[in-house]
Structures are given as structure tokens and as C-alpha cells.
């Protein structure tokens, strides 16, 4: 009887409370970011380390375990989808000419830019200063240490170009406006509709490299 009662309490009281708290934490962070497009799909928990310099464009999708940290700016383009436990770092300790060892108290900020229609697999790590071009795919478990060309499929540690996506098919879908889960006019946080405040917010990431650029390994 005691086990049954415990399960009922966990199902009817504890889990709803945890779900509510996680959802409210996600909503609070989204309403602090510098730029927030519409709609977004977020499954928490997530953590924006520096929301004041974080910019999300339209139709961004994040999954549990997302973490961004650092003093540099983070730009995430439209229709970007992420797997679980993605980590993005936007600064580094000063170790090049430090005042102490192994590094000093200073931090070197480097912006990270993720272009439109990028797919980041589970447990991807992106280091400071990286730009990921439009339409790129980053395989699960990759550590991205340098820029990724548009439409490239990369993987490994450090991530290297494996091949290129079908350019003609990509451009056809883009021209037709065929995006996964769209059109949609509402935000989703932990699978529930929410209303996010977006007053006086920027909603777009900076200009990105064109997919017409040549692919370099």
C-alpha cells in the first residue's frame, strides 16, 4: 500500500510540480534574451549563461541539456534544430599572454554564429569564435573547433567535413518554405503552449554566408 501511495503522490503531485518549475525556468530565460523570434520550441531544462547577448531567430528548437556560457555573443538563425545536451561556449580563459599560470582572470570573448536551417546532433560542443554556415549538419558527439561551410555535413573531434548536402534539393525546399513543424503561430515549452513576452526585442541573427559559397574541407 505504501508503494502504491508513493507512486500516486509522485505522479499526481511531485511530477506536475517539477514540470511546472522546469517550464517556468525556461520561460523566464527566454524572456531575458536579447533577441527572440517566433515561434520557438523548447524542451527544458536549458541554461543561457549570458542571455543579454543571446539572439534567437524564428522557429528555433532546443532539447533538454542545452547550455550556453561565456561573455561573447551567441546568434542562432531561423529553423535551427538541436539534439540533447548541446553546449556552446563564447569565451575562453586568457592563456596566450597571461599574468598567472595556467591562465589569468581575464576572459577573451568570441562570438558564435549558427546559420539558418542548421541541425546539431546530441552532445555537440561548439567552441568560441565558430560560425556554422546555413544548412549545415553537425553529427552527434562532434566538437566544432573551426568554421563549418554552408551545407556541409561534419563530424568528429575535432569536427571535419564528411560530405555536402544536396544543394539542389535544399534550395528547392527553401524556396517552397518547407520547414519541419511549420507553419505554427504559437510557442511550445515542454510540449505546452505558452505566451512569451517579446517587447522591443531583435528577432534576427546577423548576415550569414551564402549556400552558394564553395565547400572547403
**Annotated catalytic sites, by residue?**
107
Q: Are strands 137-138 and 159-164 parallel, antiparallel or unpaired?
A: unpaired
Q: Phi first, then psi: what are they for 24, rounded to 5°?
A: -65, -35
Greatest CA span in the chain, whole angstroms? 67
Q: Phi first, then psi: what are they for 7, rounded to 5°?
A: -65, -40
Q: How far apart are the C-alpha atoms of 169 and 164, rounded to whole Å? A: 12
C-alpha cell, 203: 528577432
Whether 30 contacts 42, CB under 8 Å: yes
C-alpha triplet 66, 127, 65: angle, nearest 5°: 10
Whether 130 contacts 147, CB under 8 Å: yes
Q: Which of 40, 52, 58 is nearest to 203 (CA)?
A: 58
Q: How far apart are the C-alpha atoms of 110 and 89, rounded to whole Å? A: 9
Q: Phi first, then psi: what are they for 169, rounded to 5°?
A: -65, -40
Amino acid at each position: 500500500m505504501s508503494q502504491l501511495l508513493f507512486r500516486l503522490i509522485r505522479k499526481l503531485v511531485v511530477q506536475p510540480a517539477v514540470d511546472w518549475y522546469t517550464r517556468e525556468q525556461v520561460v523566464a530565460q527566454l524572456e531575458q534574451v536579447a533577441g527572440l523570434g517566433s515561434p520557438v520550441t523548447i524542451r527544458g531544462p536549458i541554461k543561457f549563461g549570458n542571455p543579454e547577448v543571446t539572439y534567437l531567430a524564428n522557429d528555433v528548437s532546443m532539447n533538454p541539456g542545452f547550455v550556453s556560457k561565456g561573455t561573447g555573443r551567441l546568434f542562432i538563425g531561423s529553423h535551427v534544430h538541436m539534439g540533447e545536451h548541446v553546449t556552446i561556449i563564447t569565451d575562453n580563459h586568457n592563456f596566450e599572454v597571461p599574468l598567472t599560470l595556467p591562465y589569468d582572470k581575464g576572459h577573451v570573448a568570441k562570438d558564435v554564429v549558427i546559420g539558418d536551417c542548421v541541425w546539431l546532433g546530441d552532445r555537440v560542443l561548439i567552441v568560441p569564435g565558430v560560425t556554422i554556415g546555413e544548412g549545415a549538419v553537425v553529427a552527434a558527439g562532434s566538437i566544432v573547433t573551426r568554421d563549418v561551410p554552408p551545407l556541409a555535413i561534419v563530424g568528429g573531434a575535432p569536427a571535419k567535413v564528411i560530405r555536402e548536402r544536396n544543394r539542389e534539393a535544399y534550395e528547392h525546399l527553401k524556396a517552397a518554405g518547407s520547414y519541419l513543424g511549420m507553419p505554427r503561430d504559437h510557442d511550445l515549452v515542454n510540449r505546452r503552449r505558452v505566451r512569451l513576452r517579446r517587447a522591443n526585442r531583435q528577432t534576427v541573427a546577423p548576415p550569414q554566408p551564402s549556400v552558394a559559397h564553395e565547400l572547403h574541407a
